[in-house]
Structure 1
């Protein structure tokens, strides 16, 4: 009977149609492909069999994934001042993500993220169905967050493609997807779910050069990732599928719809109540958009100036400033930097209005005879890159260059009331910007050398040149303290009296020179103390001191105090004719306040790598005793005279700064008023301001309008008001440090050096 049944089954099988046999064969082939072929394929991809598939990332690189990271410049109070980046990306740890952001991401992009091991079978089946039915957008994709992280980190790297990938897009995509699966499994084995999630968010592109969730939150909402609310989280998560398409800045309506789709998923999942969902979905996208670049943020000029120094350090130590994710800690205080930038903006807006009214209908570039310089703009346009580009294209002698320079085009220009769109030619633009006054401001702690604020100009986007350290100009009377300091060092006393009479210098090349005071007169014959003379900025008495103490000694004293620019050993040195930088002057005045110890201004304290390891530490460079403490304190007392003496150039400072406070200061103005300066000192802050045109020929016609007391002093005063109003700052009102040993500054003529230049009859002779 059994034999009969077997024969019957055999007969039935033989009666089956050919399609049945083919189906059985296909099933066996499918079985072998799944059980043997797929594993073999995966192994061959993993080990790059015959070089067909391209190299896989090493296990080490998977465990320590590398991606380009921006380097962050951080203030002394822990605020990011800005970044150096090729791709603007910055890492954030998991504990700095808002819980609502994490929930939104998982709910919207990978609901089974906590359950799967890198690959989600249900999602893969769903993706296949979507592809077959052409409903992928409705059904969803098959990639998990882990797979998307693998793609972000490795699989899109063309350097990892093998020879098969060159056959076309289909094999390339298949191989890359296979690598994505393999890497996903490795990631799941070597990282926790939280680590995978935060790595994913740190590597996502959010358009507008915002790579990573930290930069995205800052760019679109001016927030840190741990402060994002549910609607903001939904906007950013919604961008993940197509950053450009759902960019809330470029496509607000599409972003709004996508945000609400994400919110609906949260409602379906039970995270949002019906009431919360209904109220949230109607809210507009409250965006605070700001693309990050070197023209944005605090201390833009400072970051630009220190770039070469940082780049040099990175090159010497094997880092890339733009891609290594360094953290560069500085001495800049973000609050003080903000106050400095505010003070500059407030006062320069006022100053520019005065300047425009002063030159209304006229051009401000003038020669020594106060006549407009002919061909000024034509000569300056030839110094631009655009002009040189046109010459290369059209030749220097043709009319095409001139035509292009005068061709009108749309552009955005700087104004003190915000950017303005206009239609200008290149010549129009040059003429427009040459009418602006510019500025520089720096503030430092004289006791530590730490630079606390640095403003190199009025707007970094439109005026790139730094007027703190890069630019040097004639300091005018702000150089006089180094002449008086030399005298104090030689034993002079602030209370010694001199007559206001101009001395005569015999010049090396022949002829003589006599300095006049700012009023154009050669003195009044009035008897003044040295403190009064400095307070009133008497050129005549400063010149007398220069004759007595020796020009070379003044040069050496200034160098020891911190002036590094070349100083010409000529009689006019006493009036500040040798160019110096604001950076040098602030450092030099700080030497007085620091009781004679010259500490070079410094601004970088340490550098950390992307993992938080300190790779470099920096300390202030202390150059030792530039002058004895008695000399230094005499000069502090002398500079206080500008505030305390009748007729002092600093008496106009606000009560808010002077009251219950020891303050010193010195104005400075060049002879044609092209440079206005103010240097102010307190017991714990030395700050300086410069105001002038980017070119020396651009200035007020009136000396009184362009003097430092009118242009630069208000910036310093406003800055100090803001600093003192902030009780969170350590910088308070107080008294200057006194020398460790007593100092008698009463008038005792016997202690002074012999008068080698004048006697009593000389002082009474107006011809001498």
Structure 2
């Protein structure tokens, strides 16, 4: 009877058509699936490719203690092993994203049926999705392609095929490892380790339950649940994740409540190339790494890729010390900038000097581009006068404004900038590196790229040459100005308005500690320019210096790194050092590619006696000379020697601070050399550059980690050196010499040397 009914039903034309349509749909569906399977809509990764998954990994930059201080990446990713994931992180992921993870083969058919019946048929949006961790991994690894109207269907089928293949190749632990190392988190961050360090400044292993739930919660919508930008949304989503963990018995009730009570406190660390710690250092490091890696190949013969190969770069930088240096710089420069602008008032050159502004304008890339296209000057000015929204740097924060290119130029012309380096004088290892005020707005690096006149910081080299060539520390010179007739009647003078007594003579210690220009030139005249140039070369100054008497006053333009390396000799057994900051480069597995050691200098630049004499003189500079405010204003008790420096028309301010285990060089000035400080009181090195060093050392003194630097003592000078320095600071001419002594106000410069 039933068979007859079935036969009768099959003879019905509508039933026949329906069955035929069903068969056709089924066949087309199979063909469609097979076409995807065999690559008609894009090649699917095969077993071999899935077995050898290669993901771009960020190169890590580590400080001397292996602390992460930066990265180079296209995708910010740092891979971990399964053992490094805390249990509560894995529980949060599974409870939220795929509670049946250990039961399916990549595609959860049970969940798909639930979604079909509850969500589609009964419109129950609380039923959840049918995606699995493995499906999400497939999407993370290979992305999605645009197939127009059928994109969603095609991509999901492709992902299901890849997911099943992944499940056949990898264990569940390996899948979780791949997923957590590749999944995208907010702020262009890939992988849980990068996210942990970026948002909470901890390794993944040290994430709390609340922190882990926050990061897992952000996976649902990276922007909406970004804890940096949408803290309230993020906290609500975190609580949902915690509730899921409780629901599936991963948390007890007390643990749930405790985790919910945790405040969502971020410790955000930007590893953006323009932001974060030591951006100038990282930019210079990248240049040097590119040059170094060009000489090495991977085992397979391919070149290393700084952005994708997950290299590990060990440097000499000290992360905490760098933070102190940057804080000291920012604190001082913000106040100095206010005083600098106030000193000029309404007549500031960046506002009123049309010739200066126009000259600076012609150096801009925009001006040159318009010039090359055939526009005349007036047309270019019109074009550069169009206003548009720009971000502006200010010490009290970045602002946005509607300004023209000319307006922006005038805004940036006013800013003081800086360069600072601190290094280990025994090895040349760079501990801090501050290339400028803010890398986002001032890309020029004043440590590696800049050469500025060094002013009085060159004087110690003149005095070193003099003592090394036999001049006694107790040699006396008059501060009286002399006109050198063979140098266009050049008459160097001392700074300040104090009248000089022509009958008072000063020894070398007083002359240098008080930075007397007239005596520095006389010392140079006595020892000879050639001897000074030779001494500078022995100190590692590589560039050709001007062979003229103004050399004594620091007209030479020298790079900060070379200046620091030369000053290191005074606490390094008379040997200069060459600054360096890369110690080792490893591949992602920790296999060494190349390592670097400090360049050994076996030749002394001068004798031990000369070193000890110069160190005593530069200690006097700090104790009673031009750098005395280190003691009086900043109350520093450390063993410090040093030298201030100020160039002509107050263009540059310098301070070199020497302690037994750290040498620091600071420069401050305007990038536009036509704009100096308004007054010497404001621009002198003791006021413009020295405070950065002082604030830096105040911070070091409060940190016991740096006791080996802050509590270190200088060597004791020998008895012969103490005896050589044992004389009065000044000596007055006798009565007969005052009465009958020949007054020399003109002379020719000594060229015999």
Same fold (TM over 0.5): yes
In structure 1, distance between residues paired with 2:172 and 2:364: 55
Partner residue, 1:268: 247
Q: Decide which moves more: 120-129 or 276-285.
A: 276-285
In structure 1, distance between residues paired with 2:175 and 2:64: 32
Summarize deviations over 1:45-98 as a string: whole Å, max 9, x none.
88x5xx746555465543442222222222113322222222222334445444
Cα shift at 1:417: 2.0
Cα shift at 1:618: 1.1
State whether residues 595 and 633 of structure 1, in contact with CA within 8 Å, keep that contact through their aligned partners in structure 2: no
Change (3 A) 1:541 1:257: closer
Partner residue, 1:707: 684
Change (3 A) 1:296 1:11: closer
Structure 2 residue 618 is the aligned partner of structure 1 residue 639 = yes
In structure 1, distance between residues paired with 2:703 and 2:266: 29
In structure 1, distance between residues paired with 2:310 and 2:501: 62
Cα shift at 1:702: 1.7
Partner residue, 1:377: 357
Partner residue, 2:63: 75
Secondary structure of residue in 2 paired with 1:632: helix
Alignment of 1:649-668 (within 5 A): 649-654=626-631, 661-668=638-645
Cα shift at 1:355: 1.1
Q: Decide which moves more: 677-686 or 258-267.
A: 258-267
Aligned counterpart in structure 2 of residue 308 of structure 1, from 287, 291, 309: 287
In structure 1, distance between residues paired with 2:247 and 2:724: 89
Structure 2 residue 703 is the aligned partner of structure 1 residue 726 = yes
Partner residue, 1:343: 328
Aligned counterpart in structure 2 of residue 485 of structure 1, from 464, 467, 470: 464
Aligned counterpart in structure 2 of residue 572 of structure 1, from 537, 541, 550: 550
Partner residue, 2:675: 698
State whether residues 183 and 192 of structure 2, in contact with CA within 8 Å, keep that contact through their aligned partners in structure 1: yes
Secondary structure of residue in 2 paired with 1:418: coil
Aligned counterpart in structure 2 of residue 542 of structure 1, from 520, 524, 528: 520
State whether residues 630 and 636 of structure 2, in contact with CA within 8 Å, keep that contact through their aligned partners in structure 1: no
Change (3 A) 1:72 1:744: same
Partner residue, 2:299: none
Query: TM (normalized to structure 1)?
Result: 0.84
Q: Decide which moves more: 614-623 or 87-96.
A: 87-96
Summarize deviations over 1:178-230 as a string: whole Å, max 9, x none.
54134322442xxx433322321221122322222233334444554344444
Secondary structure of residue in 2 paired with 1:196: helix
Change (3 A) 1:591 1:657: farther
State whether residues 107 and 164 of structure 2, in contact with CA within 8 Å, keep that contact through their aligned partners in structure 1: no
Change (3 A) 1:139 1:398: farther
Cα shift at 1:529: 1.7
Aligned counterpart in structure 2 of residue 395 of structure 1, from 354, 359, 375: 375
Change (3 A) 1:484 1:61: farther
In structure 2, distance between residues paired with 1:621 and 1:327: 22
Aligned counterpart in structure 2 of residue 424 of structure 1, from 403, 406, 417: 403
Partner residue, 1:353: 338
Partner residue, 1:200: 179
Secondary structure of residue in 1 paired with 2:665: strand
In structure 1, distance between residues paired with 2:489 and 2:463: 23
Partner residue, 1:237: 216
Cα shift at 1:537: 1.1
Q: Decide which moves more: 16-25 or 383-392.
A: 16-25
Change (3 A) 1:133 1:393: farther
Summarize deviations over 1:697-750 as a string: whole Å, max 9, x none.
2222222221111111111112112112210123232322468x875453499x
Structure 2 residue 136 is the aligned partner of structure 1 residue 148 = yes
Partner residue, 1:557: 535
Change (3 A) 1:331 1:763: farther
Cα shift at 1:541: 2.0
In structure 1, distance between residues paired with 2:339 and 2:541: 33
Summarize deviations over 1:208-254 as a string: whole Å, max 9, x none.
22222233334444554344444443333233233234445555665
Structure 2 residue 127 is the aligned partner of structure 1 residue 139 = yes
Partner residue, 1:3: none
In structure 2, distance between residues paired with 1:64 and 1:628: 60
Structure 2 residue 106 is the aligned partner of structure 1 residue 118 = yes
Cα shift at 1:446: 0.2
State whether residues 456 and 515 of structure 2, in contact with CA within 8 Å, keep that contact through their aligned partners in structure 1: yes
Change (3 A) 1:168 1:358: same
State whether residues 10 and 16 of structure 2, in contact with CA within 8 Å, keep that contact through their aligned partners in structure 1: no
Cα shift at 1:150: 2.6
Structure 2 residue 329 is the aligned partner of structure 1 residue 329 = no
Aligned counterpart in structure 1 of residue 648 of structure 2, from 655, 671, 675: 671
In structure 2, distance between residues paired with 1:498 and 1:615: 57
Cα shift at 1:660: 5.9
Secondary structure of residue in 2 paired with 1:439: strand
Cα shift at 1:261: 3.5
Q: Decide which moves more: 623-632 or 126-135.
A: 126-135
Change (3 A) 1:604 1:655: farther
Change (3 A) 1:202 1:390: farther
Partner residue, 2:305: 320
Structure 2 residue 94 is the aligned partner of structure 1 residue 109 = no
State whether residues 584 and 595 of structure 2, in contact with CA within 8 Å, keep that contact through their aligned partners in structure 1: yes
Partner residue, 1:757: none
Q: Decide which moves more: 511-520 or 468-477.
A: 511-520
In structure 2, distance between residues paired with 1:95 and 1:694: 51
Alignment of 1:491-570 (within 5 A): 491-502=470-481, 505=484, 507=486, 511-519=488-496, 524-570=502-548
In structure 1, distance between residues paired with 2:741 and 2:353: 44
Secondary structure of residue in 1 paired with 2:431: strand
Partner residue, 1:448: 427
Partner residue, 1:88: 76
Partner residue, 1:212: 191
In structure 2, distance between residues paired with 1:748 and 1:685: 25
Q: Decide which moves more: 675-684 or 620-629.
A: 620-629
Change (3 A) 1:612 1:491: same
In structure 1, distance between residues paired with 2:283 and 2:247: 50
In structure 2, distance between residues paired with 1:218 and 1:184: 29
Change (3 A) 1:65 1:17: closer
State whether residues 677 and 689 of structure 1, in contact with CA within 8 Å, keep that contact through their aligned partners in structure 2: yes
In structure 1, distance between residues paired with 2:46 and 2:471: 74
State whether residues 411 and 422 of structure 1, in contact with CA within 8 Å, keep that contact through their aligned partners in structure 2: yes
Partner residue, 1:177: 159
Aligned counterpart in structure 2 of residue 621 of structure 1, from 599, 608, 627: 599
In structure 1, distance between residues paired with 2:524 and 2:552: 7
In structure 1, distance between residues paired with 2:463 and 2:115: 83
Partner residue, 2:729: none
Summarize deviations over 1:264-286 as a string: whole Å, max 9, x none.
32232233456765786698855
Provide structure 1 residue ranges, at least 5 long, that are not aligned to the other structure: 1-7, 367-371, 750-759
In structure 2, distance between residues paired with 1:748 and 1:220: 58
Query: TM (normalized to structure 2)?
Result: 0.85
In structure 2, distance between residues paired with 1:748 and 1:261: 76
Provide structure 2 residue ranges, at least 5 long, that are not aligned to the other structure: 297-302, 727-736, 748-753
In structure 1, distance between residues paired with 2:620 and 2:230: 62
Q: Decide which moves more: 613-622 or 244-253.
A: 244-253
Pairwise CA RMSD: 3.9
Secondary structure of residue in 1 paired with 2:246: helix
Secondary structure of residue in 2 paired with 1:492: coil
State whether residues 439 and 690 of structure 1, in contact with CA within 8 Å, keep that contact through their aligned partners in structure 2: yes
In structure 1, distance between residues paired with 2:68 and 2:428: 21
In structure 1, distance between residues paired with 2:213 and 2:125: 18
State whether residues 516 and 522 of structure 1, in contact with CA within 8 Å, keep that contact through their aligned partners in structure 2: no
State whether residues 485 and 746 of structure 2, in contact with CA within 8 Å, keep that contact through their aligned partners in structure 1: no
In structure 1, distance between residues paired with 2:684 and 2:260: 59
